[in-house]
């Protein structure tokens, strides 16, 4: 069905300002407008006698204008005296049109709704909602909705538009009643109840979203999401991918592993290998806490691809992270006779051209890099597997670009995404329902848990003394500053100044500086010094957030920790505790702490478990930040709340496959109704 503007505009006439405002709110089709729900309600179903309205009370009154005049009291204002049988009050308008002044002439019958207060002119309502009515005009029989709107879109206009869209919208029941959770009204009944609630209903039950009408909308929305993801999964299953079986290379690699895999690593390797053996593209997320050992798992997946005669690409969001991977993979795989190519933004000219040629000829079996890996001029001879680290840092477009690298062969590569930010269960069941998930839920043995301490910035000197003690024992230290050099006006300690201050406070200690503005080669030089242990203290902005692996680092200080997100703090903290020595993470904060800042630091001090951190983060921030690649301007869920509506989510998840099987047309119609405008986005 073509989108219908509500209210309709004839032909190509330019849209009126309110119609444009509706479009801006996304209210295009009748169904969209019908789903634009009230924020709250006002009761205009009964008139309160003027004389009985207490001071401070809000009510609807109806009276006859006995006097109306413009007065100049400080400013120009329209003062209208209203009377009914029980008393009088004044309606005072500070902004008014001449047309309003005319309509409010003596003798006019007026309905006004507002708060009564004792004022300069006696009991008065300042700027009430009002309208002039003909005698005998019936009162509404339902509560009056108040919609989310914008300045250009008056409530009265929006109310009419919604009411007529509700009439026109195709709201017929699509789902077999027997399959719906019990006690839910039909969609039409639900919307009728939400837009025009019966007058005896307590609006609070609607406003807190617990009413069955709300439950129905939430359920429908969650079901649409489940269905569309199931469809995406089914469509992917129709695509062909190369069959990648482990062979002699994998066997040699396994025999030469520098350590024994943990049970969790062995399990996820088996899950991934099973996927790779299938002729359909893998679409799997490998999640595991910081330091749980995802890289070796990716390397084993790569070995299977290469065994089968295909190439593997590994893409990481930052150059430092990509380089860490590159070094590890070269260390593990080069001795087995493989060629590993390295592609990043800073590699240009002849060196880059040579690498690109190796990739195109298939001589480089493994390609590691940043976004540079998906540049147009990079053509793979035979890309069989793409691994994306920290997948939430990449956009949909970039993931699609990686998958398209194989289009020529009409085969899709397998896709392995890795993330250290575990997806909380409710999100895994909803937004990520089409992903297969493997979880490394165990750290390699021999790690001593990191102790996290939270201090006010005033304790700085004691912290610096602690740094000196660590360094004296031959250990290394990170100092992290939340520097945003671009925004001078933000009052943050500048990393350069901190570097100078710490160098002065710790004479004889080699202190380095690493920040985002440095050239890649400079960064690499600093990292090399720190990795070798020649540099003892590294002052850095969040460029070290991911990927740095220096087991000798045993202390991390995070300055202005209150300015970091919880997931980011957890990632940062994971840079220490990589060896057997007991490590400490010190979070310095500056008072006063906001409630969320306090909650974040408390969570950090209380747990090292990335899953628990992710759960608390979801509580503190809501789901938006977890979405990463799936993040779009507008939230995908408008009505349902994953935390609150877990039971409805379960019900939708159970129903979706059955509906697809038994009532595929109803399923398709339901998705169309709810997600037509988002369909493209969901496919990515």
Give the interface with ligand ADP as residue ranges (CB under 6 A).
259, 261-262, 265, 288, 290-296, 420, 444, 549, 578
> Element (H or E) spanning 652, and its range?
helix 646-662
Q: How far is the CB of 468 from ligand ADP (least distance, A)?
A: 27
Whichever of 295 and 365 has its CB closer to ligand ADP, that residue is 295
Whichever of 445 and 633 has its CB closer to ligand ADP, that residue is 445
- Contacts of residue 225, defined as CB under 8 A and 6 or more positions apart, other chains included, come to 430, 431, 433, 636, 637, 652, 675
Q: How far apart are CA 378 and CA 82, in angstroms?
A: 78
Q: How far apart are CA 524 and CA 342, in angstroms?
A: 14
Q: Are 199 and 145 in contact (CB under 8 A)?
A: no
Q: How far is the CB of 440 from ligand ADP (least distance, A)?
A: 7
Q: How far is the CB of 437 from ligand ADP (least distance, A)?
A: 15
Tokens 């630091």 correspond to: 601
Q: Are 1 and 18 in contact (CB under 8 A)?
A: no
Neighbours of 432 (CB within 10 A): 19
Q: How far is the CB of 304 from ligand ADP (least distance, A)?
A: 18
Q: How far is the CB of 273 from ligand ADP (least distance, A)?
A: 17
Whichever of 224 and 322 has its CB closer to ligand ADP, that residue is 322
Q: How far is the CB of 484 from ligand ADP (least distance, A)?
A: 26
Neighbours of 340 (CB within 10 A): 22
Whichever of 290 and 682 has its CB closer to ligand ADP, that residue is 290
Q: Does residue 271 sit in helix, strand or coil?
A: helix
Give the pairing of strands 283-288 and 436-440. parallel
Residue 96 CA neighbour count, 13 Å, CB half: 26
Q: How far is the CB of 486 from ligand ADP (least distance, A)?
A: 29
Q: Are 303 and 377 in contact (CB under 8 A)?
A: no
Q: How far apart are CA 502 and CA 496, in angstroms?
A: 10
Whichever of 295 and 426 has its CB closer to ligand ADP, that residue is 295
Whichever of 246 and 288 has its CB closer to ligand ADP, that residue is 288
Structure tokens at 334: 């080069």
Q: Are 148 and 173 in contact (CB under 8 A)?
A: no
Q: How far apart are CA 484 and CA 493, in angstroms?
A: 9
Q: How far is the CB of 320 from ligand ADP (least distance, A)?
A: 13
Q: Does residue 207 sit in helix, strand or coil?
A: helix
Whichever of 225 and 265 has its CB closer to ligand ADP, that residue is 265
Whichever of 390 and 645 has its CB closer to ligand ADP, that residue is 390
Tokens 């795989």 correspond to: 333
Q: Does residue 638 sit in helix, strand or coil?
A: coil
Whichever of 29 and 284 has its CB closer to ligand ADP, that residue is 284
Whichever of 352 and 570 has its CB closer to ligand ADP, that residue is 570
Q: How far is the CB of 315 from ligand ADP (least distance, A)?
A: 14
Q: How far is the CB of 578 from ligand ADP (least distance, A)?
A: 6
Structure tokens at 586: 């010190």
Handedness of CA 505, 507, 513, 519 (dihedral sign): positive
Angle at 367 between CA 365 and CA 369, to 5 degrees: 175
Q: How far apart are CA 241 and CA 677, in angstroms?
A: 30
What number of residues does the chain have? 684
Q: How far is the CB of 479 from ligand ADP (least distance, A)?
A: 21
Residue 409 CA neighbour count, 13 Å, CB half: 17
Whichever of 80 and 386 has its CB closer to ligand ADP, that residue is 386
Q: Is 231 exposed, middle or buried (0-12, 13-18, 19+ CB in 10 A)?
A: buried
Q: Are 597 and 589 in contact (CB under 8 A)?
A: yes
Whichever of 225 and 295 has its CB closer to ligand ADP, that residue is 295
Q: How far is the CB of 333 from ligand ADP (least distance, A)?
A: 14
Residue nearest to ligand ADP (CB): 293
Q: How far is the CB of 575 from ligand ADP (least distance, A)?
A: 10
Whichever of 246 and 547 has its CB closer to ligand ADP, that residue is 547
Q: How far apart are CA 477 and CA 581, in angstroms?
A: 13
Q: Is 469 exposed, middle or buried (0-12, 13-18, 19+ CB in 10 A)?
A: exposed
């Amino acid at each position: 069905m073509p989108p219908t503007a509500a209210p309709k505009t004839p032909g190509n006439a330019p849209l009126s300002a309110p119609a444009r405002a509706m479009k801006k709110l996304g209210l295009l089709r009748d169904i969209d407008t019908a789903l634009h729900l009230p924020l709250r309600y006002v009761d205009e179903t009964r008139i309160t006698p003027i004389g009985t309205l207490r001071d401070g009370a809000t009510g609807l009154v109806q009276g006859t204008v006995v006097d109306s005049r413009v007065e100049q009291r400080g400013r120009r204002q329209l003062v209208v005296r209203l009377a009914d049988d029980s008393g009088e009050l004044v309606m005072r308008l500070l902004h008014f049109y001449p047309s309003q002044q005319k309509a409010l002439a003596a003798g006019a019958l007026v309905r006004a709704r507002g708060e009564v207060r004792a004022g300069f002119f006696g009991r008065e309502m300042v700027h009430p909602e009002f309208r002039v009515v003909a005698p005998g005009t019936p009162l509404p029989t339902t509560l009056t909705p108040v919609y989310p709107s914008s300045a250009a879109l008056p409530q009265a206009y929006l109310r009419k538009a919604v009411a007529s869209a509700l009439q026109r919208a195709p709201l017929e029941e699509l789902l077999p009643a027997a399959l719906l959770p019990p006690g839910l009204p039909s969609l039409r009944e639900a919307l009728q109840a939400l837009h025009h609630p019966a007058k005896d209903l307590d609006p609070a039950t609607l406003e807190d979203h617990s009413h069955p009408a709300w439950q129905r909308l939430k359920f429908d929305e969650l079901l649409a999401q489940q269905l569309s993801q199931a469809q995406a999964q089914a469509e992917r299953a129709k695509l062909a991918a190369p069959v990648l079986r482990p062979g002699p290379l994998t066997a040699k690699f396994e025999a030469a592993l520098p350590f024994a895999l943990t049970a969790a690593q062995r399990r996820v390797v088996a899950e991934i290998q099973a996927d790779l053996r299938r002729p359909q593209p893998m679409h799997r997320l490998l999640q595991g806490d910081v330091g749980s050992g995802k890289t070796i798992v990716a390397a084993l997946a790569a070995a299977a691809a290469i065994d089968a005669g295909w190439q593997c690409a590994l893409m990481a969001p930052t150059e430092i992270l990509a380089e860490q991977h590159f070094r590890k993979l070269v260390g593990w795989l080069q001795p087995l006779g493989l060629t590993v190519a390295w592609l990043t933004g800073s590699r240009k000219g002849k060196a880059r051209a040579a690498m690109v040629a190796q990739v195109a000829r298939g001589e480089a079996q493994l390609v590691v890099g940043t976004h540079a890996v998906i540049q147009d001029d990079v053509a793979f001879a035979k890309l069989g597997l793409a691994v994306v680290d920290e997948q939430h840092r990449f956009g949909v477009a970039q993931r699609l670009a990686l998958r398209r690298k194989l289009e020529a062969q009409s085969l899709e590569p397998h896709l392995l995404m890795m993330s250290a930010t575990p997806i909380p269960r409710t999100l895994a069941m909803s937004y990520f329902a089409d992903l297969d998930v493997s979880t490394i839920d165990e750290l390699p043995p021999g790690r001593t848990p990191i102790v996290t301490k939270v201090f006010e910035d005033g304790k700085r000197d004691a912290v610096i003394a602690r740094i000196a003690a660590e360094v004296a024992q031959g250990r290394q230290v990170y100092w992290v500053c939340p520097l945003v050099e671009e925004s001078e006006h933000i009052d943050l300690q500048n990393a350069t100044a901190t570097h100078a201050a710490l160098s002065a406070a710790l004479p004889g200690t080699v202190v380095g500086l690493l920040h985002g503005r440095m050239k890649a080669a400079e960064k690499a030089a600093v990292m090399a010094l720190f990795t070798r242990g020649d540099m003892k203290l590294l002052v850095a902005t969040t460029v070290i957030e991911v990927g740095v692996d220096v087991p000798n680092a045993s202390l991390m200080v995070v300055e202005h920790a209150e300015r970091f997100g919880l997931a980011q703090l957890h990632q940062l903290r994971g840079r220490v505790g990589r060896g057997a020595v007991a490590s400490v993470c010190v979070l310095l904060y500056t008072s006063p702490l906001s409630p969320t800042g306090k909650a974040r630091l408390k969570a950090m001090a209380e747990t090292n478990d990335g899953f628990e951190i992710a759960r608390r983060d979801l509580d503190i921030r809501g789901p938006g930040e977890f979405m990463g690649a799936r993040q779009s301007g507008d939230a995908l869920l408008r009505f349902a709340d994953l935390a609150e509506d877990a039971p409805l989510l379960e019900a939708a998840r159970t129903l979706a496959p059955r509906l697809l099987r038994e009532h595929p047309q109803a399923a398709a119609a339901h998705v169309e109704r709810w997600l037509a405008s988002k369909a493209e986005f969901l496919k990515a």
